[in-house]
């Protein structure tokens, strides 16, 4: 349930810088086709040009999740929440990772922060409902 939602945020996140658009589009397509090593190369190339750009950083986090390098992905998403606290997608993806690990309290905290950052972002609220339900079921 949660793993599928982590990729929903990819296209909605930030604006592509034109000079990097080709690498990011290629990286997205490579990720979708499961070619994560090549996708990571393209994202790293975009980051070399503009290391503060949130979109390649976010996409790198998604690639790392797909490669099961969750701690590295957590580090990226955490840094994005610090650098861009109004963007809900990094909070959501942190929560997805935590929920997949069974760390529902951490998932709840991340989702609640994301909901405060962007109250109209529906995916956050849907995932928050799922996490609340899981926490409630664990209480019984």
The pTM (predicted TM-score) of the whole model is: 0.84
The answer to whether the CB of 104 falls within 8 A of the CB of 138 is yes
Distance CA 43, CA 18 (A): 14
pLDDT bucket at 62, cuts 50 / 70 / 90: very high
Domains identified in the chain, total number: 1
pLDDT bucket at 15, cuts 50 / 70 / 90: very low
Distance CA 54, CA 36 (A): 19
Mean per-residue pLDDT over the chain, rounded: 89
How many helices (H) and strands (E) in the chain?
Answer: 8, 0
Q: What CATH code is carried by the domain that includes residue 76?
A: 1.25.40.10
- Cα–Cα nearest to 8, from 46, 62, 55, 54: 62
State the residue range of the domain holding 33.
Answer: 2-139
Q: What is the reported pLDDT for 22? A: 87
């Amino acid at each position: 349930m949660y793993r599928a939602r982590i990729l929903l945020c990819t296209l909605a996140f930030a604006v592509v810088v034109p000079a990097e658009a080709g690498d990011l589009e290629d990286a997205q397509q490579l990720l979708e086709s499961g070619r994560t090593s090549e996708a990571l190369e393209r994202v790293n190339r975009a980051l070399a040009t503009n290391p503060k750009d949130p979109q390649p950083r976010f996409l790198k986090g998604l690639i790392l999740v797909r490669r099961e390098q969750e701690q590295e992905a957590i580090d990226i998403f955490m840094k994005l929440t610090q650098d861009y606290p109004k963007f809900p997608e990094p909070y959501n993806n942190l929560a997805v990772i935590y929920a997949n690990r069974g760390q529902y309290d951490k998932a709840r905290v991340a989702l609640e922060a994301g909901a405060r950052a962007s109250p109209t972002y529906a995916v956050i609220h849907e995932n928050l409902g799922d996490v609340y339900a899981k926490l409630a079921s664990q209480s019984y």
